[in-house]
Copies of this chain bind each other. A is one copy, B any other.
Amino acid sequence: MNLPENIIKNLRNKTPLVHCITNYVTVNDCANSLLSIGGSPIMADDEAEVEEIISICDALVINIGTLNQRTIKSMLKAGKKANELGKKVVLDPVGVGASSLRTNTAMELLANIKFNAVRGNISEIKTLAIGAGATHGVDASAADAINKNNLVNTVELAQSLAKKTGAVIAITGAIDVVANEEKSRQIYNGHPMMSKITGTGCMCSAILGAFLAASEDGFAATTAAIASMGLSGEKAWQKVEAEGLGTGSLRTYLINELSLMTDEKLLAYAKIKA
């Protein structure tokens, strides 16, 4: 697949303002990854201000990583307003399936808000698509891991959720899958060590908000966001390994690579297959 030629450049030119209602574990990484790729973050989760905040923003990213009663209301309010105003909306259903609170909330969000994209690991997307996924907390269950044998099923799963929601679905893992109702792509970038730092999924969803806000084509924007994160992680790990460093540096270098990303690099090194 050919990605649009200037997707990174356009993003940096537009500097989309992305409203995040997100968890407190990886919120700093989400803000810094948004800045590194060329967006501008604003985190705001009080019911009293989310409608005003989304009104001045270009996209909304809802992440249920540390869900609580107070912010569920804010998510619903912000999401509905975003829909009303035609802003792009992303759902990151962190840990859905691990508790009824997360599962019920994710379902309520899907029922009330039209999402442009949903990004999760295979266990999370399974839970949303068919109501049952294995779960290992916020990580994908090993039983669910994407490989060449179950790739066809994984694409079907993504497409069934795309059909149900109208969103572009991104499943990230050893192989990433991006799908809408009509088409799908697999992305072979990334490195297994990315799962040894927290937040690679959350950051991916955050920058996805910026990519969607800066592009007309939601499918291409999602593919480019996922590939940018995978490529950055893979390059970051190469450097970490070459220097004999560890996972603390991987986190830092991943954001470095996002900040150094260009269309030239992305087009040259993204491994995307139809």
Contact = CB atoms under 8 A, between A and B. Distances in A.
A98 B42 contact: yes
A164 to B, nearest CB: 25
Contact of A56 (B26, B69, B137, B196): B137
Given A32-B198, A248-B252, A255-B246, A23 B43 contact: yes
B66 A44 contact: yes
Size category of the A interface is: 35 or more
B69 A46 contact: yes
Contacts of A132: none
A49 interface: yes
Contacts of A66: 43-46
B52 A100 contact: yes
A67 B95 contact: no
A44 B249 CA distance: 26
B35 A196 contact: yes
A25 B101 CA distance: 24
- Chain copies in the assembled complex: 3
Interface stretch (A154-162, A220-228, A257-265): A257-265
Interface in A1-49: 17, 23-29, 31-32, 35-36, 40-46, 48-49
Given A245-B253, A249-B256, A252-B252, 16 more contacts: A25-B28, A25-B43, A31-B199, A35-B198, A36-B246, A42-B98, A42-B137, A42-B138, A46-B68, A48-B100, A49-B98, A49-B100, A52-B98, A53-B98, A56-B137, A247-B255
25 contacts: A26-B28, A28-B28, A28-B29, A32-B248, A35-B196, A36-B196, A41-B137, A42-B98, A43-B66, A46-B66, A46-B69, A49-B102, A53-B98, A245-B253, A246-B255, A246-B260, A247-B258, A248-B253, A248-B254, A248-B256, A248-B258, A248-B259, A249-B252, A251-B255, A252-B252
